[in-house]
C-alpha cells in the first residue's frame, strides 16, 4: 500500500517536519530453554504483556445494546478498506474471550492491554449506560484476574460513538471532550476496584491526522490544517479531562497515563551533537500532543511554525491538559526520523529515508531496532518521567501456513529479537522502562488494511476462527520466562 496510508505516519504540523484452539503453545515448537537470567536481562518485576483493541477483535457490533461507532460507518464506504472487510465479526472475542485469555496465559504474560468500546457502554456516547456492555468488561476483567493476568485498560482506541460524530462533529467539539471525561469517570468508578492501570487515548497522532486531516481513517474527513491542529488540541484536552476523572472516581492506587504513537527520532550517528539534535527533534516533532501534555505548554518553535494554523487555547485548558500522569505509554514500531545536528532552524535536520531502507511486509514498518533504545532514553530526559511503558511494538509478517499446519515467522522473530535487545540495553543503562506490550496477541482487523496484515503471535483463520500459535509465540514465551531478550 502507498505511503499515504502508512499506519503510523504523522501530521507534519504536529511538530516541525514537513473458538477453537489448535493445541497448547507447546505445539508451536520449543519451550523455554533456561530459567530467568540473573544480571543480564531486564529488571526484576518488568511487566510483560500483549495488546489488542476493541473494534479490531470483539465483533458482535450489533449485540447486547452496543451502539454504532464511526468505524462501523466508515468501513461501509466503498474503497476505504483494502480488502473490503469490516470489524463486524473480527475475532469474535466478545464470545471467545475465555479462550483468548487462555492464549495469553500460555505465553506466560502477566499483563494484558485491552480497550473498552465506548459505544458498548454508552450507545450514544452519553446518556443512559448500557448494563450489558459493562457486564462484558466485568467478565473479561474477572477472567483475566482468575488466570493471574493483570488488566491494563485503554479508554479510547478509535471507536468513537457515531452519535457524537453526528451531533458535535466528534473531536472537532469540546463537547465530545467533556462527554469523554464523563465516560472515563463511569469506567473508573466501575472497574478500578480491579483494574489499576488506565491508558487514556491511544494514538492521537494517528486518529486525528488520518481521520480528520487526510480522510483515510474514520470519520474520513479532510479538513484544513488549522482545524486539524485544533482537533489535536481537543484530544489533548480530552486526555486531561480523563486523567482528572480517573483521579476523582477511581479507587486509591489507580494509575493513569497516555499511550501515544510518538514521532520516533533517533540520531543518525551516535555523537554528542547528533544525540542532542535527536533530543530537540523528539520534543519538537511531538510538540502538538505529548509535549503539551507533559509540560503544559506549546513550544515557541511549534507555535511559530504553525503560525495562523496554531490551535486556540486558554491557560485553563493547558492546566487540564497537563494534569500529572503516573506513566508515559509509548507505541514504537519504526523510526520516523533519523536526524543530525544543524546550525539552521531548531538545531536538527531530519534525513530522507532511502527507498532501500529495510522494512517488514508493511512498507511503513521500517526496521530500526535502535529506536527502542533512543526514544525511551530521550523521552525520559525530556519529560522527566520515571515510568515508561512500551504500550505497543510488533511487526506484520507474511505468516504463511506450511503443509505441517504451522507458521514459522522467523521474520517477526528477527524483528522482536533485535528490538528487545535494544530495549534491554536501555534498561541496563537505567532508562525507566517498566514494561512492554507486544502488538498483537493475535491477528485481527487491521484498520484500513482489513484482514490483509497480520501482527499476531497467534494466527487466526477468520473463516473458522481457529487460533494457531506461530513460532514467534514460543520466542516471546521464552523471552518472558528468561526475562531477557532472546538470543
Catalytic residue among 58, 260, 392, 446: 392
Q: CA 172 to CA 152: how far, in whole Å?
A: 28
Q: Is there a catalytic annotation at residue 317? A: no
Catalytic residue among 58, 92, 150, 203: 203
Secondary structure of 228-286 as H, E, C letters: HHHHHHHHHHHHHHHHHHHHHHCCCCCEEEEEECCCCEEECCCCHHHHHHHHHHHHHHC
Grid coordinates belonging to 399 = 505468516
228 in Cβ contact with 209 (< 8 Å): yes
Q: CA 156 to CA 260: how far, in whole Å?
A: 12
329 in Cβ contact with 153 (< 8 Å): no
Q: Is there a catalytic annotation at residue 92? A: no
Q: Give the active site residues.
A: 203, 392
Amino acid at each position: 500500500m502507498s505511503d499515504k496510508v502508512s499506519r503510523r505516519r504523522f501530521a507534519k504540523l504536529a511538530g516541525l517536519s514537513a473458538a477453537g484452539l489448535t493445541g497448547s503453545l507447546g505445539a508451536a515448537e520449543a519451550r523455554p530453554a533456561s530459567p530467568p537470567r540473573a544480571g543480564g536481562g531486564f529488571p526484576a518485576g518488568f511487566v510483560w504483556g500483549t495488546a489488542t483493541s476493541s473494534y479490531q477483535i470483539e465483533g458482535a457490533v450489533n449485540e447486547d445494546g452496543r451502539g454504532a461507532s464511526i468505524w462501523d460507518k466508515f468501513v461501509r464506504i466503498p474503497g476505504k478498506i483494502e480488502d473490503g472487510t469490516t470489524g463486524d465479526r473480527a475475532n469474535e472475542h466478545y464470545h471467545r474471550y475465555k479462550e483468548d485469555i487462555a492464549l495469553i496465559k500460555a505465553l506466560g504474560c502477566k499483563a494484558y492491554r485491552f480497550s473498552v468500546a465506548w459505544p458498548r457502554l454508552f450507545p450514544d456516547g452519553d446518556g443512559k449506560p448500557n448494563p450489558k456492555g459493562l457486564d462484558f468488561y466485568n467478565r473479561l476483567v474477572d477472567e483475566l484476574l482468575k488466570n493471574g493476568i493483570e488488566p491494563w485498560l485503554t479508554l479510547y482506541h478509535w471507536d468513537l460513538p457515531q452519535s457524537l460524530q453526528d451531533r458535535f462533529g466528534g473531536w472537532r467539539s469540546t463537547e465530545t471532550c467533556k462527554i469523554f471525561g464523563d465516560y472515563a469517570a463511569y469506567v473508573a468508578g466501575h472497574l478500578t476496584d480491579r483494574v489499576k492501570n488506565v491508558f487514556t487515548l491511544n494514538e492521537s497522532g494517528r486518529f486525528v491526522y488520518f481521520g480528520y486531516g487526510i480522510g483515510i481513517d474514520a470519520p474520513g474527513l479532510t479538513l484544513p490544517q488549522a482545524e486539524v491542529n485544533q482537533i489535536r488540541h481537543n484530544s489533548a484536552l480530552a486526555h486531561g479531562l480523563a486523567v482528572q476523572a480517573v483521579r476523582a472516581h477511581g479507587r486509591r492506587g489507580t494509575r493513569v497515563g497516555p499511550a501515544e504513537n510518538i514521532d520516533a527520532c533517533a540520531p543518525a550517528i551516535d555523537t554528542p551533537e547528533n544525540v542532542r539534535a535527536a533530543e530537540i527533534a523528539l520534543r519538537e516533532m511531538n510538540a502538538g500532543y505529548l509535549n503539551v501534555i507533559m509540560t503544559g505548554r506549546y513550544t515557541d518553535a511549534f507555535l511559530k511554525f504553525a503560525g495562523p494554523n496554531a490551535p486556540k487555547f486558554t491557560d485553563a485548558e493547558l492546566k487540564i491538559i497537563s494534569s500529572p500522569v503516573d506513566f508515559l505509554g509509548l507505541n514504537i514500531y519504526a523510526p520516523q526520523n533519523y536526524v543530525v545536528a544543524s546550525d539552521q532552524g531548531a538545531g536538527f535536520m531530519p534525513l530522507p529515508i532511502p527507498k532501500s531502507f529495510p522494512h517488514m511486509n508493511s512498507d511503513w514498518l521500517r526496521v530500526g531496532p535502535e529506536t527502542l533504545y533512543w526514544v525511551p532514553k530521550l523521552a525520559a530526559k525530556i519529560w522527566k518521567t520515571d515510568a515508561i511503558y512500551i504500550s505497543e511494538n510488533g511487526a506484520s509478517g507474511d505468516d504463511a501456513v506450511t503443509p505441517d499446519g504451522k507458521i514459522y515467522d522467523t521474520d517477526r522473530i528477527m524483528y522482536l529479537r533485535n528490538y528487545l535487545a535494544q530495549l534491554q540495553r536501555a534498561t541496563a543503562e537505567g532508562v525507566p522502562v517498566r514494561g512492554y506490550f507486544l502488538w498483537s496477541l493475535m491477528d485481527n482487523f487491521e484498520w484500513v488494511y482489513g484482514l490483509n496484515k497480520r501482527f499476531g503471535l497467534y494466527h487466526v483463520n477468520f473463516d473458522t476462527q481457529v487460533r494457531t500459535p506461530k513460532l514467534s509465540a514460543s520466542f516471546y514465551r521464552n523471552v518472558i520466562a528468561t526475562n531477557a531478550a532472546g538470543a
